[in-house]
Chain A
Amino acid sequence: MPEQTFVVNGERVTVDVEDDVRVLWVLRDLLGVTGPKYGCGINVCKACTSHINGKAFNPCAVPVGELSADDEVTTIEGLPAQTAEDARGPHGLHPMQEAWLERDVVQCGYCQPGQIMAAVALVRKVRDEGRTITDADLDGIRNICRCGTYTRIREAIRDGETRM
């Protein structure tokens, strides 16, 4: 079986698995990294949203064979470490996670790791474009929340943006 090597949350890992297995399953089923959730498997619900080399991606839609040894995958578990220690909040977390806690966004929680990872990427993206989050940006977020926490997600993203 082919060996797959890449970096997960700062640690280089090697897994024996076929090239075509999607990264989501390698993370969840083989590495036990269960923060990214399954909600559709076809890059629609965005529950699995994580980062690759700092950008949001959906691991349910990426064959593991496409990753190279230096590709850095960050899941919700690795998000706090993306921030300098002194920039972390009272819970020792990434500012966006702290904003999420402060606004008590979570309901069942299933979609929320993906929501937070998408939010962080969105703030970085608009910042690269030299602007701040607009209502249209928030309207364009595709992550579904079946518990309907959208209002609090919007509030937390705006708050998290100021903290980031």
Chain B
Amino acid sequence: MTTTDGPHTVNRRKFIGYLLGGATVVAAADLGMVGRGATADAGELPTLPQPAEIADLSDLLTLAAAPTSQLITVTINDDGTASFELPRTEVGQGITTAAAMLIAEELDLPVDKVHVTLAPARPELLFNQITGGSNTIHAMYTPIRVAAAVAKGALLQAAATVLGDSANKLTSHLGHIVAPDGRRVDYGRLSALAANEQPETVEVELKDENSHGIVGTPVNRIDALDAVTGTKQFATDLDVADALPTMVCRAPTLNGTPNAVNNADEVRNMPGVTHVAIVPTGVAVRASTFGQCIDAVRALDVSWNDGPVAGMSDEDALAGVRAAEAPAPELPAGETVSGDFTFWFRSNSAMDTNSAVADVRDGRAEIWASLKNPNVAQGRIAEAVGIPLNNVTVHVVQGGGSFGRRLFDEPAIEAARISQAMGVPVKLMWHRADDARVGRTHPLATSRIRACYAGDTVLGFQQAHTSIETDFRHGLGDIITAKAADLPAGLGNMPFAQVIFQLTTILPYDFGAVGQSLVETDTRFNTSSMRNIYSPDVRTANELIVDQLAQRMGTDPLEFRLAHLRNGRLRTALETAAEKAEWGKELPEGMAQGIGVHVEYKGVTACIMEIDCRPETVGRKVRNAVTGPRVTKATMVIDCGRVINPRGVEAQMQGCVNDGIAMTLTSSLHLRDGHFQEASWDNYFYTRQWNTPPELDVVVLESTEPPGGVGEAGVAASAAAAACAYARATAAMPTEFPINHRTLSFEPKPYSPPVPQSPTDGLDHTY
């Protein structure tokens, strides 16, 4: 592995850690030890505009400057288990399991003896508490191992006293320290003996990565048992005293605001309802059950102020993007191939809708929510409810998916405001209709590409990507950069967008004069990344043009790519995929294979999909569903550097394949008359069982490169592979994504009332 030499590094395996004082072993490592903390693609920080005045800045800098401020700790408990508070959020991506594996490895403990919980907001961590850009493992790989190694060292020292042998003669075995003569003592007994009175700096040597016995082997998720027994708790499952179900009645146009409630008393008297309150985002109701909240939301008579996009359709949004497009850049002389692609709005709605529990009373605020940026949330909540930062506690809860959503904190802020307005604790849950219509979306974008060639040489490749603004106002996980990104008129957001675009859209081919540019416009929509940021769109456009170039030159798409790739790891991945997918095999007319590759998150992916576009497949019927072309087989190969948990990587790649298929073939939001029309999962066509590939192979390549991210790594290659396969099967290059966007495949639900009533005929549909 490579590490940045710095104050905490002794050599490639030796590091400095700390033993903290306390009643048991508390071992620590500095999160800032390897490079900088979390950025879009760790290591490089955008140059930030300096905010003129930030209220919390000096407080935060003081906190951050304390000698222990950046520490993460591993604690040995008296029952022999280890505990670790991960300053990240688990939303399904498997980081708690990976962290437990790293600790188990270094400590020589079974994985199930390591308890990983999520740390609450720790403002002193500054840049080090954002879960984004698939960066967790990259940033935490060394610090977690160092802390665990320090703990192990302390246990060995204590055992030397107990066993009367010198520490270097002792060995460890699954939670015990063992003497050469076989006598043993367990970690639990040693935990108090090994405790330090005073903090101490220690040098540790990490295990040789080549002798890892747990890391690199397939391990099942540590939360799987809770999940399959229904005991895994999400925000809405929490039992916080008196936090009754709460929902918000929202405006009939996107981001509209309430003017007045005309029947508050009447609604307050409805069965189960306890409170009605106006908040900036709508009218909140609190009741004994969510069902009664739905009834109350539907009964409310509210006068609304229109939102900023009232009357607009997605064609209007597209016209705005078109107007912002920069002139296409010059290319060298030669034959040209060009494409102009549109990517419509897409929803990152997770299964677990936006939700939060809040108790804001008596000058204190306590919030529970799944937040990838708890520090930013803490600062914003403090501001929203006018309570000093140190009286605001933010608990981080596991999330039922995120896909970009939980980088933002609007449900937490909304819940805090509601609790404050009502004077009681609340459990806020967004209705699915709200989540789909008002929740964040991947912005609408266009991508224009021109490539030129002479003979079999590509001379130049220019791509101009133009998008509705992608919101990066979450900053880098701390309130300072979040404030910087929030400068007026999108000025603060723009540098973030530019840097992230440049960091994530690498064109992996030798194509002469390559240029890729980004222009963003229009800040009125609720946007964010969506299982990843620009790359699924950018790479889909790229790969379609790559196929065009190959065709012009009369070369096979695989051969063409292999001849032009300038990344050895990617070449291996693509060759592996081609072999596994039997590239070039005979297929009936109407079926074809397509290739997509991608470099991001310190790793590479290559995907080959086989699609069936024959009429009998495209026309197959499923009630209230979009069927269409079926990807019958997908092969995904990833080299993500040193693999922590191959089973976890496989799972992430399968998810990425389904996301890529949805983006290319089926899933988009439709803006009409100032509102998104989708209000349920039978409106928004994320991949379902009838769309998922019946055959799906994932190959995780072995690698000695530093571990990279996997949560989003496979989406771009998948989206591109689906598009290229579709183009080849139909002999026509698609230019809009998803390909079915122009057909509205459902009957839109009303906007007013904003949420649909639950049906009553469930007993007629048992099976």
Contacts and interface: CB of A to CB of B under 8 A. Distances in A.
A141 B236 CA distance: 26
Interface in A55-104: 55-63, 66, 75-77, 80, 91, 93, 97, 100-101, 104
A140 B680 contact: no
A110 B432 contact: no
A132 interface: no
Interface string B218-237: 00110111111111111011
A39 to B, nearest CB: 5
B237 A146 contact: no
A143 B686 CA distance: 12
A125 B760 CA distance: 23
A45 B651 contact: no
B690 A52 contact: no
Contact of B223 (A93, A109, A141): A109
B351 A146 contact: yes
A87 B687 CA distance: 35
Most chain B CB within a 10 A radius of its CB, from A77, A105, A121: A105
B400 A37 contact: yes
A148 B687 contact: yes
A97 B762 contact: no
A43 B291 contact: no
Interface stretch (B116-124, B159-167, B653-661): B653-661
Given A40-B681, A140-B622, A149-B655, A100 B228 contact: yes
B400 A106 contact: no
Contacts of A52: 763, 766
Contacts of B756: 41-42
Interface size, B (range): 35 or more
Contact of B228 (A44, A101, A151): A101
Nearest to A64: B291
A8 interface: no
B290 A55 contact: no
Contacts of B232: 109
B interface SS class = loop
Contacts of B651: 104, 107, 149, 152
B183 interface: no
B681 to A, nearest CB: 5
Contacts of B234: 37, 110
A61 to B, nearest CB: 3
Nearest to B270: A18
Given A37-B351, A104-B220, A106-B227, A45 B432 contact: yes
A18 to B, nearest CB: 5
Contacts of B230: 34-36, 75-77, 113
A61 B690 contact: no
Given A42-B758, A44-B680, A21 B401 contact: no
A109 B232 CA distance: 8
Contacts of A109: 92, 223-224, 226-228, 232, 400
B351 to A, nearest CB: 4
B272 interface: yes
A146 B758 contact: no
Nearest to A104: B220
Interface of A: 1, 17-18, 20-26, 28-30, 32, 34-45, 47, 52, 55-63, 66, 75-77, 80, 91, 93, 97, 100-101, 104-113, 116, 121-122, 125, 135, 138-154
5 contacts: A17-B289, A32-B239, A97-B229, A110-B352, A148-B658
Q: Which 5 A-B pairs have the closest CB atoms?
A: A35-B230, A110-B400, A108-B92, A109-B227, A148-B658
